[in-house]
Structure 1
């Protein structure tokens, strides 16, 4: 099987595992099973993230790569009189980006399917169906069960605080595009897991002991900011490169972030990454993301003395129905592979 086929297969498996921030155990278990099957040492932290260690020749100075398995999602905020559900957001998205989406409500004992809709959806009933504000007041979940009242919904076992996950609708096209929800950041997690497979197949020891941290709270701002071994000198967050007006990154590139809302990333480290991309003939772009933060910046805020960087595949329509291309995934894989086998500056 080709490398991109394995990345795509892993990604498809991952996006179908519900894991909104706060509900990530199953996704972490999946990643741990892959790493364990390859013979790596793994540890689940108290926060629920996964730390995977790859021994290297230099045990005094370590590297760390991180990608986050948690996604956007929602939580049941209330049960309405007609039995539908009101929602509270998990992560930063806009309500219109999930209108019409299929979803799953995860109760304590069961899972129920549903659809996220405006209360004023029917144009045959509501004159303002198109103009009504898309917000937490009007957006609701229609449950696929026979319920028309609050009591009937509660009898199903659905409670305030139950998690709600969005269906991914994963598609890989013949033209090389992958479109799905939750490419942020499960595309990067799939790349890290493929790196682990590749390193095992190469049977080549890395120059530095390297850790891969699969974080589980990035979408709510505090993933990747703990359980970092004291020997770590360089820390690279692998996360999506956002695409839009004024951005250089495309769906075919590996994006190297030079600055986001937290400020500039480590200059010498990002120059090393750019030189590696250029010398290996990889499609890459340097970019600035004004409304973005990463696990690497969270680690800096937590006080870790590290050189921090941020790279990732270019992904369109971030925090909505996302899309990338095989080219961006393979370029990100190749850049990380070259970096892990390079010397520290």
Structure 2
């Protein structure tokens, strides 16, 4: 492996480790600790915000215009919304995902007294009891419940079966407790990876692989480049408070939705041209496309209609920063997700190329100015054959 190649084994194993760490939005301390410890192991300095977002800065020849690359460590999950008389728990989702994908999931409930294992089940879970009603009940979070693996029963049931009833209070279970969904990862020999929470732990693993390559090679970056890890992207907050004022451009790394009518693929890089919040920055996106072409990194473009990323929260938070989106195509996003490792390797190669690329818009070093050095977008008619 040459000095600046991506260590594919490291990327794969980092992803495997990340998937084992529960991290629903709002319950991310453990994964933040792991990321900081890994940065220390790689010899990379970092700072941790109050709530656990991470900033690591690789110094360049110039401090400005600084760049940023960002992914998020938080995932989908759930919280206890109500404790039922029968010992089951009603749930509210963390992030936007369908109860259809919650049905049958194994999970961990975190309480102040400790954790409990359990299963998320439809209200009518047994065909031996409800017959065909199990196929006709609606799909909604109000139609599922968490069955914890502890002897919790109502008083009548407890007396009937001779099991001592255990109250929720004695177990320390309360409304608002967090639920982490098991990822159930499979790394297949043909390169496919199937798991929950590839969004966005695939992006986090790719960024760590880039950090490892840059650090071990000793390559000099043209400008300071921040590698950021946010902790609340799935609930819409994301990068709103993690950016520093010197950052002029930011590339978000996230999943790209693979489905009929979308141009994303499970291989190569998918470069987002727009999402539900609008177009990404023309110049930064064009730069990434040119880098992919010149490095012969397979890529495709896509527009995401029902999607947002850390880029949206940065702009909405008031940052005057150019944004772009680099994705690895995922089938069944926010469900039982699947990606090919080729996409993750391709994303890492493009991010590395971006970090090493020369600054093209020098004016971005200052937050504002006159027209000198301001950008142009092509408006002239194209000539035939071009």
Q: Aligning the two structures, in what range does the TM-score lie when normalised by the shorter sequence?
A: over 0.9
What is the aligned counterpart of 2:120 among 76, 101, 116? 116
Asked whether the 8 Å contact 2:113–2:171 carries over to 1, the reply is no
Counterpart check, 1:206 vs 2:215: no
Q: Which range is displaced more, 52-61 or 167-176? A: 52-61
Which residue of 2 is the match for residue 278 of structure 1?
293
What is the aligned partner in structure 2 of residue 47 from structure 1?
51
Query: Where do residues 231-310 of structure 1 align in structure 2 (5 Å cutoff)?
Result: 231-310=246-325
Q: Secondary structure at the match of 2:338?
A: strand
Correspondence 1:125 to 2:129: yes
Shift of 1:233: 0.9
Per the alignment, residue 152 of structure 2 pairs with 147
Q: 8 Å contact 1:243–1:314 — kept in the other structure?
A: yes
Aligned equivalent of 2:83, options 72, 79, 83: 79
TM-score, normalising length: structure 2: 0.87
CA offset digits 1:288-337 (Å, max 9, x no partner): 00001111121111111111101121111100010100110110000011
Once the two structures are TM-superposed, the CA of residue 202 in structure 1 deviates from its matched residue by 0.7
- Alignment partners' CA distance in 1, 2:240 and 2:296: 33
Match in the other structure for 1:172: 187
After TM superposition, the runs of 4+ consecutive aligned structure 1 residues lying more than 4 A away are none
| Equivalent residues of 2:230, 2:242 under 8 A apart | no
Alignment of 1:305-320 (within 5 A): 305-320=320-335
In 2, the alpha carbon distance for the partners of 1:296 and 1:77 equals 30
Q: 1:65 aligned to 2:65?
A: no
Matched, 1:91 2:95: yes
Number of residue pairs matched? 345
| Partners of 1:249 and 1:284 within 8 A in 2 | no
Q: Is the 8 A contact 1:114 1:144 kept in 2?
A: yes
Partners of 2:346 and 2:73 in 1: CA distance = 20
2:23/2:180 contact within 8 Å kept: yes
Deviation digits for residues 253-275 of structure 1, max 9, x if unmatched? 21100000010000111111011
Of structures 1 and 2, the larger Rg is shown by 2
Gaps of 5+ in 2: 156-165, 361-386
What do the CA deviations read for 1:87-107 (whole angstroms, capped 9, x no partner)? 011000000012101000001
- What SS class does the counterpart of residue 239 from structure 2 fall into? coil
**Does the alignment pair 1:328 with 2:333?**
no
Which residue of structure 1 aligns with residue 162 of structure 2?
none
Gap runs ≥5 in structure 1: none
Q: So what's the TM-score if we normalise by structure 1?
A: 0.97
SS where residue 240 of structure 1 aligns? strand
Write the distance in 1 (CA, Å) between the matches of 2:318 and 2:208. 28
Structure 1 SS opposite 2:152 = coil
Alpha-carbon distance in 1 for matches of 2:40, 2:332: 34
Mapped partners of 2:49, 2:111: distance in 1:
25
| Greater Cα offset, 146-155 or 31-40 | 146-155
What displacement does 1:54 show? 0.8
How far apart, in 2, do the equivalents of 1:138 and 1:148 lie? 20
Shift of 1:149: 2.9
Q: Supply the distance in 2 between the matched residues of 1:303 and 1:342 (Cα, whole angstroms).
A: 27
Shift of 1:74: 0.1
Question: Any conservation in 1 of the 2:79–2:94 contact (CA below 8 Å)?
Answer: yes
Aligned twin of 2:14 = 10
Deviation at 1:70, TM superposition (A): 0.4
Once the two structures are superposed, residues 102-161 of structure 1 have per-residue CA deviations (whole angstroms, 9 ceiling, x without a partner) of 000001121100011112010111131111112232201111111113962332111111
**Matched residue SS, 2:24:** coil
